Amino acid sequence: MSRLALCCAPLALIAAAPLAAQQLPDWSGVWFTEAGATVSISGFPTAVLNPSDTSPFPLLNPQGPWTEEGRAALISQLGRLGLSKSQGWGYPVMMVSATPLQFIVTPRETLVLTVYRDLRHIMTDGRPLSAPEDRWVTTWGESVGHWEGDTLVIETVAVRQPGLSFLSPPLSEKAHYLERLRKVGPDRIEGEMTITDPETLTEPWTIPLAYVRAEGLDRLVYDVFTNDRSELDGDAFGILPPGEHADPP
Amino acid sequence: MRLRLSIGLCLAAAMVPAANAHHSPVMFDSGRSVSVSGTVREFQWTNPHCYIQLVDDTPRQAEWNMEMAAPIYLMNKGWRPTTLKPGDRVKITVSPLRSGANGGLVLDVVSLDGKTIGKVK
């Protein structure tokens, strides 16, 4: 081993080591994306009043650097939205949707939870991503992260396609996701997500991320779906009478 | 431009499921609003949606199926499971069902003297 390698090895270990709890930023509380924070008792974000505003769903933006096939798949998907249901979000939709979410920051991992029981483990104990032949493709993918000062840098791979939600972008399972998140104020976390996908994107695609503190929640409250009264009736959903329930999607 | 607009409309249609996680809102006519006064028969604080069963004040006393966001979104806006009780008299503004059935997506709930229901920060 060269003298330079010997000299740098301890530094590499320090960089990969998890931060002590007292060094970690406080991201406690419940957060919404900026669009999610505008959701009223109706479920409508404010932006829905402006149909040409696609900002609440940046991953469904046809203006992204899609390949021809990727854009065709996206437009086909958009045409089916009116007749679709889903049980939750999955990754990456959970990071840009209107669902409330929590970040549980610990020395060895950061957990991201949503109220629809999405759960990401972002391992920050210095481990690398699994070797490609060992990866387990799942709806939430495999993530590792590290802290650069107070910025959490996250790499995610092995995200199952098609995604859990009808709002999932039509990326491939070869997609690589790089996120950078930083708390920039007591009530705001900002960052970005860069997606690289050799099959559906012509170049890396970076979208901004921004979360604001939920005004009326101090925790996520989970409950199962016991009362889905939305049932497809011809070419649109209708509301079943109380006591009747639709079949699960 | 036409393609861009139609895509925008599709995305708009997707926004309610983003909040509610279940289905598209194209079943509701978001371009219209209808206000219905009546008596609460039942308030369902349930996932994936909350519902208000409202018996209107018309001579027919028709029952309306009023869909709301999931409970967590209502909680964020100051609502609680007991915010509405059977017998409460309210006026509810909805985006009506396109089908013409008695029902819609709740936009606003006020008491008959005009006070907003739920805690408002």
Burial A25-61 (b: 16+ CB within 10 A, else e): bebeebbbbbbbbbbbbbbbbebbeebebbebbbbbb
pLDDT > 70? residue A186: yes
Is B14–A242 a contact, with Cβ atoms under 8 angstroms apart?
Answer: no
Bridge partner residues of A227 (DSSP): none
Model ipTM value: 0.83
Is A223–B51 a contact, with Cβ atoms under 8 angstroms apart?
Answer: no
How many whole angstroms separate alpha carbon A100 and alpha carbon B20? 11
Question: How does pLDDT run across A132-141, given as a tens digit for each residue?
Answer: 999 999 999 9
**Of B102, B90, B98, nearest in space to B32 by CA:** B98
Sequence-separated (6 or more) residues with CB below 8 Å from residue A95: A33, A101, A112, A179, A193, A209
Give pLDDT, residue A116: 87
| 3-state secondary structure at position A182 | strand
Q: Per the structure block, which two tokens stand in for A25?
A: 């930023």
The phi and psi torsions of B104 (rounded to 5 degrees) equal 175, -175
Residues of B in contact with A237 (CB under 8 A): 23-24, 26-27
- Closest residue to B48, CB basis, from A56, A97, A225: A225
Residue in chain B nearest A245 by alpha carbon: B48
| Average pLDDT over every residue of A93-118 | 94
Positions of E strands within chain A: 31-33, 101-105, 109-114, 119-123, 142-148, 151-157, 176-185, 188-196, 205-213, 230-233, 236-239
Is A41–B69 a contact, with Cβ atoms under 8 angstroms apart?
Answer: yes
- Closest residue to A214, CB basis, from B12, B44, B76: B76
Question: How does pLDDT run across B64-101, given as a tens digit for each residue?
Answer: 999 999 999 999 999 999 999 999 999 999 999 988 99
Phi-psi region of B27 (alpha: psi -120 to 50; beta: other; left: phi over 0): alpha
Give pLDDT, residue B17: 40
Give pLDDT, residue B23: 57
Pairing of the two strands A119-123 and A142-148: parallel
How many whole angstroms separate alpha carbon B54 and alpha carbon B38? 6
Question: How does pLDDT run across B14-33, given as a tens digit for each residue?
Answer: 443 433 445 556 788 888 89
How many whole angstroms separate alpha carbon B97 and alpha carbon B83? 24
Question: How does pLDDT run across A46-73, given as a tens digit for each residue?
Answer: 655 445 555 567 899 999 999 999 999 9
Is B11–A78 a contact, with Cβ atoms under 8 angstroms apart?
Answer: yes
Residues of B in contact with A224 (CB under 8 A): 47
Torsion sign (Cα): B14, A238, B73, A162: negative
- Closest residue to A78, CB basis, from B7, B53, B65: B7
**Of A183, A165, A213, A174, nearest in space to A57 by CA:** A165
Q: Are A31 and A211 in contact (CB under 8 A)?
A: yes
Interface residue B103 vs chain A (CB under 8 A): yes
How many whole angstroms separate alpha carbon A102 and alpha carbon A54? 24
- Closest residue to A167, CB basis, from B18, B30, B53: B18
Confidence (pTM): 0.85
Q: Per the structure block, which two tokens stand in for A78?
A: 């958009």
Give pLDDT, residue A244: 87
Is B97–A239 a contact, with Cβ atoms under 8 angstroms apart?
Answer: yes
**What part of B 4-23 touches A (C-beta under 8 Å)?**
4-5, 7-23
- Closest residue to A85, CB basis, from B23, B99, B103: B23
> What residue type is B115 in one-letter code?
K
Q: How close is the nearest chain A Cα to the Cα of B94, in Å?
A: 9
Percent of chain A with pLDDT strictly greater than 90: 60
pLDDT > 70? residue A99: yes
How many whole angstroms separate alpha carbon A23 and alpha carbon A138? 31
Is B121–A236 a contact, with Cβ atoms under 8 angstroms apart?
Answer: no
Q: How close is the nearest chain A Cα to the Cα of B95, in Å?
A: 9
**What part of B 62-101 touches A (C-beta under 8 Å)?**
65, 67-79, 95, 97-99, 101
Pairing of the two strands A188-196 and A205-213: antiparallel
B23, B77, B93: best to mutate for the A interface, most A CBs within 10 A: B23
Q: Are A110 and A116 in contact (CB under 8 A)?
A: no
CA A116 to chain centre: 12
